Structure 1
C-alpha cells in the first residue's frame, strides 16, 4: 500500500462533490499527478494503483467520476466535456494550478478532452488503454454488457480485455475459473450502487459520444500512449493512430491486455519517467523566462 499518509473522503468542488484520495508528497517540489480511472472506477474496489510509483513517488490525487460510487450524480444528461470540466474543478478544489494527467481507459478519453479544454494547466498526459474515438478508432461499446448477467458480463469483459483469456478457457480451465470468479465478484460488488443507481449507464452514454479525432492535431501537451498487445477493448492499432496524430505523442506497446498501466511494471515505469521528465522540462523553461 501507499508508503505515506493519504486523505480519503468527500471533496466539494464548484461543480459536484466527489469521493477522492489525495496524497501530498513530502517533497513539495515533486511532480503532481491527477489520475483518472476507468468507467468502473469505484475506489471501494479499485486500489491497485496505491502500490504503484505513480502514487508513491509523486503528489497524487484521484477520484470516482460522476455516476460511480460515492460521487454525486448531477441531474441532466452528461457528455465527455462534463467529465473534463469535473477534473478541472477537482484541480481547483485541490488548489493545483498545473499537474500531469494520467488517464486509464475511460479516464484516458477524459484526459484528451481535458487537454483540449485547458492545455496550459498540464505538464504531461499519459493515456493508457484508450482511443481517440470517432467512427474509425472508437473503443468497444461496453454498454452492451449491461443487459447481461454479471457472470456473462464478466466472461465477455475478460475475453475482450485480454485475448489470451480466450485460449485459457480451454487450455487452462481451472486458471480461467479463478479469474472468472474474481471478476464476477467485482461485477456484483460494483453493481451496488453504480449500476443500480443508473449512474454507470449514464456514464457509458457519455462515453459513446467520445470523439477527439479532429482535436488531436491541436493537443500540443507531451503525451505518452500506453497500449496492451492483447487488448481488444481499445485496440492497439487505434492507440497507435492516436499517438501518431498528436504533435508530441509517443507510443509504447507492452505484452498486456486492457489495464496495461498497472498490469505491466514496465508500463508504470515508463509513465513515471515520462511525467518526471516533462515536469523538469517545464520547470527549466519557466526558469529560463524569468
Structure 2
C-alpha cells in the first residue's frame, strides 16, 4: 500500500512532510539521523495490516523545509507533535530508531499522554552516561571520501554474512539530497541529546531493542535505557548491528507487533 503524503506546520512555520499508510491504531515510525521516511521502506509494511503507520521527514530531509537553523532532539519531538496535531491524533504508539529513538524519548517525556506504547531501537540516553562509539568508528565516519563513508556505514548497519548474501538496502545510509547545513544540524542534534535526567518521567510501557554487535551505538545503551525508564524491557538481539530491524526482519517486526498488541 502506497503512503499518502501531507504537510504540517511546525511552531516556527517550517513545513513538515509526513506519510500515512495502513489502517488501525496510529503507529509513528521515526528514522535515524540525516534520514527521511525511506529509512522504513520494506519494514513499515510489516505494521500496516494492523496499524495506521505515520512517518515524518525531519526538517532538512525529504520533502520538508530545510531552514539553516540549529536543531535538537526536543525540537524534533515538537515537530512530530505538530504532525500528530495536524492529523488529529491525541495518542499513538511510537517506534523510534537511532536518532529517532532519541526524539521519541523527548516526545514521551514532554507529552506523556500522547505516547501509549514506546519502542526504542539502537539508541541511547545521551549525555555523560551514554556509551559512545569508539574512536575507530568516529574516524571512519569522518573520512572525506563519500564512497569510503558509505562502505563504513554499510559495515556498521549490517553483518558481513548479510552483506554477502543480500543486496542490503541503502535506505538507511542517509538522505543524499540533504544540504551540508542540514547534515551539520542533524549531527549536532544527535550529539547534543541528553535525556538521562528525565527518563524516569516516561510513563509509556517501553520496549528497548538493540543489535548485540552494534558499533554505531553500542548495545550497552539498551540496558542503560531499560534501567532508567520505569518498567522498561530490553531485548539485545544476537548477531545484529545498527540496522537490526532490517536484517532481523521479520522476527524483529513480530516482536514489535506482539508488544504493541499486548
Q: What is the TM-score when the length of structure 2 is the normalising length?
A: 0.86
Say whether the 8 Å CA contact 1:18–1:71 is kept in structure 2. yes
- Structure 1 residue 236 displacement after superposition: 1.3
Change (3 A) 1:237 1:186: closer
Structure 2 residue corresponding to 1:233, chosen from 216, 220, 227: 216
Matched with 2:106 is 113
* Match of residue 282 from structure 1: none
C-alpha distance in 2 between matches for 1:137 and 1:14: 29
Query: Is residue 2:34 matched to residue 1:40?
Result: yes
SS at match of 1:198: helix
Are 1:122 and 2:115 counterparts? yes
Q: Which residue of 206, 218, 221 corresponds with 1:223?
A: 206
Conserved 8 A contact 1:98-1:123: yes
For structure 2, which runs of at least 5 residues remain unmatched after alignment? none
Q: Given the alignment, which residue of 129, 137, 144 partners 2:130?
A: 137
Structure 1 residue 263 corresponds to structure 2 residue 247: yes
Matched, 1:101 2:105: no
Query: Alpha-carbon deviation of 1:221?
Result: 1.2
Which residue of 2 is the match for residue 17 of structure 1? 15
Between structure 1 and structure 2, the one with the greater Rg is 1
Contact 1:226 1:261 in 2 (8 A): no
Matched residue SS, 1:136: coil
Q: Distance in 2 between matches of 1:215 and 1:248?
A: 15
How far the C-alpha of 1:257 sits from its partner, in A, is 1.2
Equivalent position to 1:209, from 192, 196, 200: 192
The corresponding residue for 1:151 is: 147
Match status 1:272 vs 2:257:
yes
Distance 1:13 1:56, change over 3 A: farther
Q: For residues 149-200 of structure 1, what are the alpha-carbon distances to aligned partners after superposition, in whole Å with 9 as ceiling and x for unaligned? A: 12110222233344x43xx6xxx9x939966xx75x985x833x21x34212
Please report the RMSD computed on the Cα atoms of aligned residues, expressed in angstroms. 2.7
Residue correspondences, number: 255
The gaps in structure 1 that reach 5 residues or longer are 278-290
> Please, what TM-score do these two structures have when normalized by structure 1?
0.78
State the distance in 2 between where 1:241 and 1:90 align.
30
Q: Which digits, 9 at most, give the CA deviation of each residue in 1:222-280, with x for residues without a partner?
A: 11001111111121111111112111200112231112223212221111111122xxx
The residue aligned with 2:4 is 7
Q: Which residue in the other structure is 2:58 paired with?
A: 65
Where does residue 280 of structure 1 map in the other structure? none
- 1:285 matched residue in structure 2: none
Determine the C-alpha separation between the residues in 1 that align with 2:104 and 2:115: 10
Cα distance in 2 for residues equivalent to 1:139 and 1:14: 31
Distance 1:186 1:274 in 2: 24
Mapped pair 1:80 → 2:73: yes
Higher mean C-alpha deviation, range 39-48 or range 126-135: 39-48
Relative distance call for 1:201 and 1:159 in structure 2 (3 A) is same
